[in-house]
């Protein structure tokens, strides 16, 4: 169980770093939506499936995090994919 958590955490962090990069500095809502819609594809097939699931499930939280420029790790901890 512990090991699985670690994978989810690093995956989430990697995914959010990519989304953040795509959204750019100080993104508006449109930029964030575009990053959420296109960002998963940029992660490759295996990750994109998981990414899409997470985006669907946590869309509001992820949008807020990207707009606020939160650290990927903090966001993943907030949605409980990383341990605090």
Counting as low any pLDDT under 50, the low residues of the chain are 1, 3
Are 22 and 42 a contacting pair, CB within 8 Å? yes
pTM, full prediction: 0.83
Predicted confidence at residue 1, as pLDDT, reads 43
Predicted confidence at residue 8, as pLDDT, reads 87
Domains of the chain as residue ranges with CATH: 3-79 (1.10.225.10)
Predicted confidence at residue 5, as pLDDT, reads 56
Q: How far apart (Å, rounded) are the C-alpha atoms in residues 70 and 62?
A: 9
Which residue is associated with the tokens 């169980």? 1
Predicted confidence at residue 35, as pLDDT, reads 93
Token pair belonging to 26: 């100080």
Which residue is associated with the tokens 């990927």? 72
């Amino acid at each position: 169980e512990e090991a699985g958590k670690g994978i989810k955490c690093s995956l989430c962090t990697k995914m959010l770093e990519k989304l953040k990069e795509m959204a750019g500095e100080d993104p508006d809502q449109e930029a964030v939506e575009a990053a959420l819609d296109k960002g998963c594809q940029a992660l490759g097939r295996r990750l994109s499936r998981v990414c899409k699931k997470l985006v669907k499930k946590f869309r509001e939280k992820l949008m807020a995090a990207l707009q606020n420029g939160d650290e990927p790790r903090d966001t993943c901890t907030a949605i409980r994919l990383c341990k605090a």
